[in-house]
Amino acid sequence: MSISERFITYYRETFFSWDEEWLQKFLSTIITPLKKSFRINISKISIENLLIRLKNQGYIPFETWISNVFSFERTIDFNPFERRLGFSLEHLLWYIYIQELAAAHSVHILSDWKIHNDSFLILDMASSPGWKTTQLSEQYPKSFIIANEPTRERIPQLLQNLDRMGSINIGVTLYPGQYFATSPETFDRILLDAPCSWEWTIFKTTDAVKNWHIKNVKTISRLQEKLLESACISLKTWGEMVYSTCTLNQIENEWVLDSMMRKFPWCFEITFQKRYWPHIDGTGWFFVSKIRKLLSVEGKKLKIQKNINEEIIPLSKHEQSLVFDFFHSSDIQEYVFYKFKHKLLAVRLSESLELVRNNFYCMRFGEEVGNIEEGKIVWTHYAGKTLVSSKVPSMILPDDEGILDLYFRWEKIYLNTNLRWYINLYYDWQRIGLDYINETGILSNFFPPSWRRK
């Protein structure tokens, strides 16, 4: 693959004028595929336990400089049920997330590597496919996160990822990021993982190489400036945000930050900044900077919009009693239930829920845990994913990969029990989720059909 001369000249002049050898090293690294890596969701499983499980399936994990992110290879001899990591039980149960190492860093930078119990309102301004949204949800489990994505074609992938990882504290909105400038001083934290010139896809496709032109880079940097300006306005004073891109050029990074500092002098400080070089850091291309807001800045405030999500409404008394037929109150004390048409939504309790419901139109609000049909609730898989009902009995699927495989293929499985109700299903000490045993004793798989193994 030949790399565009324009690209090489820009990088030589901007970063490597002092060292042709390093330039050549950089150029040879960027056309090599990246090592795959995954992130472990430590709120679900310990690192040790997860690594043992994967090693038993023939994966060889390698430590990285992020404690819960591992790169991996596979051994050659697989057992017949072994699948790609993306179809493993561990992946389906939200224990792991396949994510590039440097990209996994930006949420850690925002959260200072900690899990926070604050009830923040967080904006993920450019969120699809949701890698970092799910990470925000792990690092800020008690906060409410707006996952915003204006590109319609990129919504299905976002929703699919949120489904798998759980979206109990997430609302999805479809605004151009510039829109948030009309909500000054609103968010405690913002992640702006900006749309960029996709330089990093060089090793995957020749397009980024062929199309690299400084004019295109400057065009996208003007959009990035507007998005950053919007983030600056909508961030609360003393709030923090991360601006990141998966490009290394200065035009989409330092220039965008410089323009913010010129526009709002004395209002912001940059508290962290790093450029990840593939030939030095062994990662994908990435630039990340962390910004703190020191002073409020001018924005154009829209009229308060009351009840923009008017179809998302609180439950009636009768509907609430149906919820309590299924859950003990202690099971759900941290959640609030709403209704959208016939759908039952569960959302983690948070101080900003009403602010969001009144001001930002959400195409998704929390998790769809049931359907209200003819005065009763039919619970879905999601009712057992994040929420756990202690009224529902547990059953264990026989410890046999073949049976698990049948389960994931939606084949009929008979369970030796007289029970005909919902069950919490376990396999190999792992809770798979909520299922149902029908009147003929067959286990009805409540996993979403799109996750079916083929």
Ligand X SMILES: C[S@@+](CC[C@H](N)C(=O)[O-])C[C@H]1O[C@@H](n2cnc3c(N)ncnc32)[C@H](O)[C@@H]1O
Q: Which positions touch ligand X (CB under 6 A)?
A: 125-132, 149-151, 154, 176-177, 193, 195, 227
Beta carbon nearer to ligand X, 66 or 322: 66
Residue linked to tokens 């037929």: 325
Could you tell me the smallest distance in angstroms from the CB atom of residue 119 to ligand X? 23
Beta carbon nearer to ligand X, 125 or 383: 125
In contact, 338 and 365? CB cutoff 8 Å: yes
Beta carbon nearer to ligand X, 132 or 364: 132
Could you tell me the smallest distance in angstroms from the CB atom of residue 225 to ligand X? 12
Assigned token pair, 313: 């409404």
Amino acid identity at 30: I
Cα torsion angle, 134, 139, 145, 148, sign: negative
In contact, 271 and 292? CB cutoff 8 Å: yes
Could you tell me the smallest distance in angstroms from the CB atom of residue 255 to ligand X? 18
Choose the catalytic residue: 196, 232, 246, 362. 246
Could you tell me the smallest distance in angstroms from the CB atom of residue 121 to ligand X? 18
How many CB atoms lie under 10 A from the CB of residue 371?
14
Residue linked to tokens 């697989």: 78
In contact, 335 and 363? CB cutoff 8 Å: no
Residue linked to tokens 């948030």: 180
Assigned token pair, 389: 């009902």
In contact, 436 and 417? CB cutoff 8 Å: no
Beta carbon nearer to ligand X, 125 or 332: 125
In contact, 246 and 277? CB cutoff 8 Å: no
To the query of whether residue 267 is one of the catalytic residues in this protein, the response is no
Residue linked to tokens 């003990």: 328
Beta carbon nearer to ligand X, 187 or 379: 187
3-state secondary structure of 377: strand
Separation between Cα atoms, residue 178 and residue 150, nearest integer Å: 10
How many CB atoms lie under 10 A from the CB of residue 179?
17
Could you tell me the smallest distance in angstroms from the CB atom of residue 148 to ligand X? 6
Could you tell me the smallest distance in angstroms from the CB atom of residue 305 to ligand X? 20
Beta carbon nearer to ligand X, 285 or 436: 285
Assigned token pair, 357: 């419901």
Could you tell me the smallest distance in angstroms from the CB atom of residue 374 to ligand X? 39
Beta carbon nearer to ligand X, 244 or 309: 244
Could you tell me the smallest distance in angstroms from the CB atom of residue 433 to ligand X? 24
Could you tell me the smallest distance in angstroms from the CB atom of residue 176 to ligand X? 4
Nearest 10 degrees: Cα torsion 339, 345, 349, 355: -60
Strand order in the sheet with 312-314: 312-314, 335-340, 343-348, 367-373, 376-379
Separation between Cα atoms, residue 279 and residue 284, nearest integer Å: 9
3-state secondary structure of 6: helix
How many CB atoms lie under 10 A from the CB of residue 372?
18
Beta carbon nearer to ligand X, 89 or 155: 155
Burial per residue of 182-220, b for 16 or more beta-carbon CB atoms within 10 angstroms, e otherwise: bbbebbbbbbbbbbbbbbbebbeeeebbeebeeeebeeb
In contact, 251 and 218? CB cutoff 8 Å: yes
Beta carbon nearer to ligand X, 149 or 188: 149
DSSP 8-state class, residue 159? H
Q: Which residues are catalytic?
A: 246
